[in-house]
Amino acid sequence: MTDDEHSTRGEGESDPVDPPVGTRRRARTDGGVEAEDVDDVVLDPWGAANVSDYRKLFEEFGIEEFDDVLSEVPEPHYLMRRGVIFGQRDYRPVADALREGEDAAVLSGFMPTGDPHIGHKLVFDEIIWHQERGADAYGLIADLEAHAARGLSWDEIDEHARNYLLSLLALGFDPEEGDLYRQSTNREVQDLAFELGVEANFSELGAIYGFDGETDVSHMQSVVTQMADILYPQLDDPKPTVIPVGPDQDPHVRLARDLASRMRYFGVTEAYASFEADPGELAVIAQAYDAREKYAEDPDQPRCTEAADWLRGEGGARLDVPEDEGALDRAAESLENAGMEPLRPRTRIVNRRGDDAAFEALIDAVDGEKRVFEAHVDAFDLDRETAEELAREVEVEQGGYGFLPPSSIYHRFMTGLTGGKMSSSIPASHISLLDDPEDGYDKVKAATTGGRETAELQRELGGEADECPVYELYAYLLAGDDDEFATRVYDECVGGERLCGDCKEQAAGLMKEFLEAHQEKREEVEGLLEAADIELESPRKG
């Protein structure tokens, strides 16, 4: 969930993919250009991320297309409009909150292992865009992770951290309205990490991250700290929170969503009788309830045993049985054991971690018809959404966290200027935000392009903008908010009107102008950084 010199945690080493273009002609969010000899999608938060085909992120990891929610986002950022932000996980609550002027938050972090570069600017921009639309904004320096996972000294971390923060402020982050912090000096984050650690274990971390007997304990601890970072914006007030990252950070997001659920006092589910049913059984029972007129003596009050008989007879052959092949038999057995109990839909609030006082408070808060059991309350007059809000309110009043599952948005990796991977260890492949503007100009002029072998072929066949690192610079950075300009560059390239020499000259000039302006702004915000509530020098040794 942080950015370092190898993975974007926002920006990282990756295989080249189709770059986005303007508002009409955009990158395909269902695929990319496959790299040679790379068949798998590898999401490693600390290594080189391989994403040979972005479709696999949807199919294998459950990431959803950002296009699904784009129309619901108020004044979407150009990275959203152009498909650079290609995926999301549960972003709709954040979009709704921004649109309705309700509370929301955005957080992302940066592992200070090198200079900030143009890939990191994607994350800076995403944080700032959310802040400008009313979200509480958090930018963190993942110094504990840098020390544990990369072995950097605290002096090195201090230097790099300062550079990240200056660029974030120069691009528009408002430190008076937002929150900047270091993991190592934020006691609330460390305390939350300790509590989250109670709900995580080594086997789980090993399965997610490949940790083994050689993994440092501090490295494992840094993972739990990142979970605390992700949930930190909700520490005092649960709210929709988005984590902008590259897809290599998705393992962190998935674990954080899981831990957020485990920390909740109460869970809300659906039920049809007093017994507990697993998801497969519940799917079968729901269908049996919907078909009650086919078998119940009194359809207004079907009995569990009637539903069991129907499932074991004609009903079982008609149902859309889930992939869990044993679900039908289990559901029928549970219903039979319930006997003549009425089959009635209800919302169930389960006590997971609440103490006796919290559970009693929950019982008192549920209005209308209800049945109270040893570890859950069945409410017959509450829909699921209302029950979830009520359970969260009671939990917070009783001293719990009430976390909402954090959301995430995912942006594409940038292709290196030399083709292939963008890496801070390959200076020619990337442009640092601290590069001399002339050096930035030269790097763009020397960049690989998607052009044809000759100018004649370029005019005849058109360029391959979808495979061009220079065009990516226009789409991701140089065109700014001007979709018309980004689209014109694309159309002129693929139409054969734009030749690579002139295109690179224009891009190089724009890059030089950007670096000059950005570095001047960095100097202007020095005072803001000094006044910000963040320690710039670590008191730690090592």
Residue 34 has pLDDT above 50, yes or no: no
Q: What secondary structure letter does DSSP report for 492?
A: H
Burial per residue of 22-56, b for 16 or more beta-carbon CB atoms within 10 angstroms, e otherwise: beebbbebeebeebeeeeebebbbbeebbbbbbeb
Instruction: Assess whether 95 and 243 both reside in one domain.
Output: yes
Instruction: Assess whether 344 and 479 both reside in one domain.
Output: no
Backbone dihedral angles phi then psi of residue 234, each to the nearest 5 degrees: -100, 10
A 10 A CB-CB count for 61 gives 17
Instruction: Assess whether 251 and 333 both reside in one domain.
Output: no
* Sole residue written with tokens 């790299």: 35
Backbone dihedral angles phi then psi of residue 492, each to the nearest 5 degrees: -65, -35
Residue 313 belongs to a domain = yes
Residue type, 238: P
CATH at residue 519:
1.10.240.10
Q: What secondary structure letter does DSSP report for 263?
A: T
Residue 391 belongs to a domain = yes
Give the Cα separation of 448 and 39 in Å (integer): 24
Phi-psi region of 183 (alpha: psi -120 to 50; beta: other; left: phi over 0): alpha
Which pLDDT belongs to residue 518? Answer: 98
The pTM score is 0.86
Give the Cα separation of 28 and 18 in Å (integer): 7
Token representation of residue 368:
């209308």
Please tell me the least confidently modeled range out of 15-29, 472-486, 509-523: 15-29
Instruction: Assess whether 103 and 187 both reside in one domain.
Output: yes
CATH at residue 136:
3.40.50.620
Average pLDDT over all residues of the chain: 88
Residue 22 belongs to a domain = no
Last residue of a domain, one of 349, 384, 411: 411
Instruction: Assess whether 259 and 271 both reside in one domain.
Output: no
What's the pLDDT band for 539 if we cut at 50, 70, 90?
A: confident
Residue type, 128: I
- What contacts 498, CB < 8 A, 6 or more positions away? 463, 489, 492
- Average pLDDT for 84-90: 95
Residue 325 has pLDDT above 80, yes or no: no
Cα dihedral 112, 116, 122, 127 in deg (nearest 10): 50
Instruction: Assess whether 435 and 491 both reside in one domain.
Output: yes
The strand pairing partners of 87, in sequence order, are 65, 410
Residue 541 belongs to a domain = no
Residue 7 has pLDDT above 80, yes or no: no
What sign has the CA pseudo-torsion 158, 164, 169, 174? negative
Residue 52 has pLDDT above 60, yes or no: no
Residue 420 belongs to a domain = no
| Chain center to CA of 32 | 20
Query: Domain span at residue 329?
Result: 267-397
- Average pLDDT for 90-109: 97
Residue 419 belongs to a domain = no
Which pLDDT belongs to residue 32? Answer: 31
- Percent over 70 (pLDDT), the chain: 87
Instruction: Assess whether 168 and 85 both reside in one domain.
Output: yes
Which pLDDT belongs to residue 35? Answer: 32
Q: Which of 178, 175, 77, 66 is nearest to 477 (CA)?
A: 77
Cβ–Cβ under 8 Å, residues 13 and 7: yes
Residue 437 has pLDDT above 50, yes or no: yes
Helix (H) or strand (E) holding 333: helix 327-338
Instruction: Assess whether 257 and 363 both reside in one domain.
Output: no
Give the Cα separation of 510 and 515 in Å (integer): 9
- What contacts 194, CB < 8 A, 6 or more positions away? 224
Last residue of a domain, one of 375, 397, 419: 397
Instruction: Assess whether 387 and 279 both reside in one domain.
Output: yes
Which pLDDT belongs to residue 54? Answer: 55
Helix (H) or strand (E) holding 89: strand 85-89
| Chain center to CA of 255 | 11
What's the pLDDT band for 508 if we cut at 50, 70, 90?
A: very high
Instruction: Assess whether 438 and 391 both reside in one domain.
Output: no
Residue 305 has pLDDT above 50, yes or no: yes
Backbone dihedral angles phi then psi of residue 139, each to the nearest 5 degrees: -125, 125
List the Cα angle 519/522/525 in 5-degree steps: 155
Instruction: Assess whether 210 and 79 both reside in one domain.
Output: yes
Q: Which of 135, 121, 90, 109 is nearest to 433 (CA)?
A: 121
Cβ–Cβ under 8 Å, residues 207 and 374: no
Which pLDDT belongs to residue 56? Answer: 62
Residue 384 has pLDDT above 70, yes or no: yes
- Average pLDDT for 387-405: 97
| Chain center to CA of 470 | 27
Last residue of a domain, one of 411, 437, 465: 411
- Average pLDDT for 282-297: 95
Residue 538 belongs to a domain = no
Residue 112 belongs to a domain = yes
- Would you say how long the chain is, in residues? 542
Residue 329 has pLDDT above 80, yes or no: yes
The residue with greater pLDDT, 541 or 312, is 312
What total number of domains does the chain contain? 3
Residue type, 494: V
Instruction: Assess whether 332 and 373 both reside in one domain.
Output: yes
pLDDT, tens only, 366-377: 999 999 999 999
Which pLDDT belongs to residue 426? Answer: 76
Helix (H) or strand (E) holding 271: strand 266-271
